[in-house]
C-alpha cells in the first residue's frame, strides 16, 4: 500500500524547511524587540472554545473545523487559529488578574477543512501576536506596523493594507439595523447570505458572490460612536506618522466574530487568488466573554506559507547562499579515526573560519570510488581525502568535485 500525506497537507523539507525556520527566526527577533514573549499552546482544545470565540455562524465553525471525540467522549478540535487558545491560556493562568497586560506571540500549525488550492491548505502555519490590556489606538497602530515590518523583513515591500472599524457594542447595533433593512431590499441573495442575514448580517458584506449587488450599502463610518470614531482617527494618524500606506475598506468585516473596532488585512498581488498574507484586529470583549476579567486586546496572524510564496516571488531568496557541502573521505581505512576526528572538528568550528559549511563525515568499509560517488550524489563542493602517502607528509587531498582537480594541502593549514 502506498501512503500519501492527507489532502491539503504537505511535507516541508530542504530549502522550504530552511526558509520556514528562517522566517520564524526573523519573526522572533522582531517580536522580542516589541516586547512580545513566546507562548506555545496545545494543537487541540475543547471544541466549544473555538465555537464560542470564533462564532457559530462563521465559515470556520460551520464548515472547517476538525472536530473529534477522544476515548472519553470529550469533544475536541484541532486549532483553526491561535487567538482563542492564547486567550484561554491567559485566563486559565489568571494572567488577566495578576498582570492584566501582556504581549505574546506564537507560531505553529493550524487546521481548517478548506478546499485546497495554491496558498490554501488544510494544515498550514501561522505566526501571530496578541497584545492584551491596552485599549489605546497606539496598540492597534503598533500591531498593524508590526505585521507590515515582518512582511518587509522578508522583502515584501509591495503590499496593500486595508483597515476598517467595526464599531463597538454601543454603535454596531445601529449599523446592523440599517444594514439588515438595506439587505432586505436586495433581491436574489445567495443561500449563504440569506442564512447570515438572520444570524450575522455583517458577514454578508464579505460574500464573494453577492458583494457587487451592494451598491447603496450603509457605511459603518456613518454609525460609529464618538469614541470609536476618535479611536479610528487616532489609529490612522499614528499609521500615517510612520509613513504606513493603507486604504480604508468599509466592507472589510473579517471572518471571525470576536472583532470590535479596528480590523485590518494585508494583501499582496504577488500571490494568486489567496492574496491575504496577514490579518487581525481588536477584540475587546473576548477575554470577558470567555470568563476572564474584561481586558481589551488586539492581535494579528500571518500565514507563513503565503508569506514565503510572496517573498519568493519578489526574488528575496535568490541571493541566499546555501551552505557548502564538504565530504570527508578515506582512501586508506587505517586513517578512518583521524578522518573522523577531523570531520568532527570541522563540524564544530567550520573550515578555515568558514562556518557556512555542512560536513559529511567518512563512511567506513567503502572503497574510495564509492565514497566519491556518494559525494557527487549529495552534491558536495569539495571532498577532503585522507590518503596514507600524503598523510605521512602531514597533508590531505582536496578534490574539487566540479572540475575533479585535486591539490595537496597541509592539514595544519585548516
Residues at the contact surface with ligand AMP, assessed by CB under 6 A: 81, 112, 114, 119-121, 124, 126, 255, 276-279, 301-303, 305-306
- Which of 64, 324 has the CB closer to ligand AMP? 64
- Which of 120, 195 has the CB closer to ligand AMP? 120
CB of 225 to ligand AMP, least distance (A): 26
In order, the DSSP letters of 301-364 are EEEHHHHHHHHHHTTTTTTPPPPEEEEEEESSGGGHHHHHHHHHHHHHH-BTTB-SEEEE---T
Question: d(Cα 45, Cα 158) in Å, to the nearest integer?
Answer: 37
Report how far apart, in Å, the C-alpha atoms of 107 and of each of 42, 86, 111, 370, 404 are: 12, 11, 13, 43, 45
Nearest residue to ligand AMP, scored by beta-carbon proximity:
303
Cα angle: 32, vertex 34, 37; to 5 degrees: 45
State how far Cα 30 lies from the chain centre: 14
CB of 269 to ligand AMP, least distance (A): 14
- Which of 113, 414 has the CB closer to ligand AMP? 113
CB of 229 to ligand AMP, least distance (A): 25
CB of 149 to ligand AMP, least distance (A): 16
Mode of pairing for the β-strands spanning 382-386 and 324-330:
parallel
- Which of 255, 350 has the CB closer to ligand AMP? 255
- Which of 19, 399 has the CB closer to ligand AMP? 19
- Which of 12, 368 has the CB closer to ligand AMP? 12
Report the phi/psi class of residue 128: left, alpha or beta, with left for phi > 0 and alpha for psi in -120 to 50. beta
CB of 356 to ligand AMP, least distance (A): 31
In order, the DSSP letters of 60-94 are IIIII--EEE-TT--EEEE-S-SHHHHHHHHHHTT
CB of 16 to ligand AMP, least distance (A): 14
CB of 274 to ligand AMP, least distance (A): 7
Q: What are phi and psi for residue 265, nearest 5 degrees? A: -145, 140
- Which of 107, 193 has the CB closer to ligand AMP? 107
Please list the residues that pair with 281 across neighbouring strands. Answer: 263, 299
Amino acid at each position: 500500500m502506498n501512503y500519501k500525506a492527507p489532502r491539503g497537507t504537505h511535507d516541508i523539507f530542504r530549502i522550504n524547511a530552511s526558509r520556514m525556520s528562517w522566517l520564524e527566526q526573523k519573526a522572533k527577533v522582531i517580536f522580542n524587540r516589541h516586547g512580545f514573549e513566546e507562548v506555545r499552546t496545545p494543537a487541540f482544545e475543547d471544541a466549544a472554545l473555538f465555537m464560542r470565540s470564533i462564532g457559530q455562524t462563521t465559515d470556520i465553525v460551520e464548515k472547517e473545523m476538525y472536530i473529534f471525540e477522544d476515548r472519553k467522549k470529550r469533544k475536541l478540535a484541532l486549532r483553526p487559529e491561535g487567538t482563542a487558545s492564547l486567550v484561554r491560556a491567559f485566563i486559565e493562568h489568571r494572567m488577566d488578574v495578576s498582570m492584566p497586560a501582556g504581549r505574546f506571540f506564537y507560531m505553529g500549525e493550524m487546521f481548517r477543512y478548506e478546499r485546497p488550492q495554491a496558498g490554501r491548505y488544510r494544515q498550514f502555519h501561522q505566526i501571530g501576536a496578541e497584545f492584551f490590556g491596552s485599549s489605546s489606538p497606539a496598540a492597534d497602530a503598533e500591531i498593524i506596523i508590526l505585521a507590515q515590518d515582518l512582511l518587509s523583513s522578508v522583502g515584501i515591500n509591495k503590499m496593500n493594507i486595508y483597515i476598517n472599524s467595526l464599531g463597538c457594542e454601543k454603535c454596531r447595533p445601529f449599523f446592523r439595523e440599517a444594514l439588515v433593512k438595506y439587505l432586505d431590499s436586495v433581491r436574489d441573495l445567495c443561500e449563504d447570505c440569506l442564512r447570515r442575514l438572520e444570524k450575522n448580517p455583517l458577514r454578508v458584506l464579505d460574500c464573494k458572490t453577492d458583494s457587487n449587488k451592494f451598491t447603496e450599502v450603509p457605511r459603518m463610518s456613518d454609525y460609529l460612536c464618538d469614541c470609536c470614531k476618535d479611536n479610528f482617527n487616532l489609529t490612522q494618524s499614528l499609521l500615517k506618522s510612520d509613513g504606513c500606506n493603507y486604504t480604508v475598506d468599509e466592507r472589510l468585516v473579517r471572518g471571525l466574530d470576536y472583532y470590535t473596532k479596528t480590523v485590518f488585512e494585508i494583501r499582496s498581488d504577488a500571490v494568486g487568488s489567496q492574496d491575504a498574507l496577514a490579518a487581525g484586529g481588536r477584540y475587546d470583549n473576548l477575554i470577558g466573554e470567555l470568563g476572564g476579567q474584561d481586558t481589551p486586546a488586539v492581535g494579528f496572524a500571518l500565514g507563513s506559507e503565503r508569506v514565503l510564496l510572496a517573498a519568493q516571488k519578489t526574488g528575496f531568496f535568490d541571493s541566499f547562499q546555501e551552505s557548502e557541502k564538504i565530504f570527508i573521505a578515506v582512501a586508506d581505512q587505517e586513517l578512518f579515526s583521524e578522518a573522523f576526528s577531523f570531520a568532527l572538528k570541522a563540524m564544530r568550528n567550520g573550515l578555515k573560519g568558514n562556518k557556512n559549511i555542512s560536513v559529511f563525515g567518512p563512511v567506513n568499509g567503502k572503497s574510495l570510488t564509492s565514497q566519491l560517488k556518494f559525494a557527487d550524489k549529495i552534491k558536495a563542493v569539495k571532498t577532503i581525502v585522507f590518503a596514507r602517502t600524503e598523510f605521512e607528509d602531514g597533508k590531505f587531498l582536496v578534490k574539487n568535485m566540479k572540475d575533479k582537480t585535486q591539490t595537496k594541502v597541509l592539514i595544519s593549514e585548516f
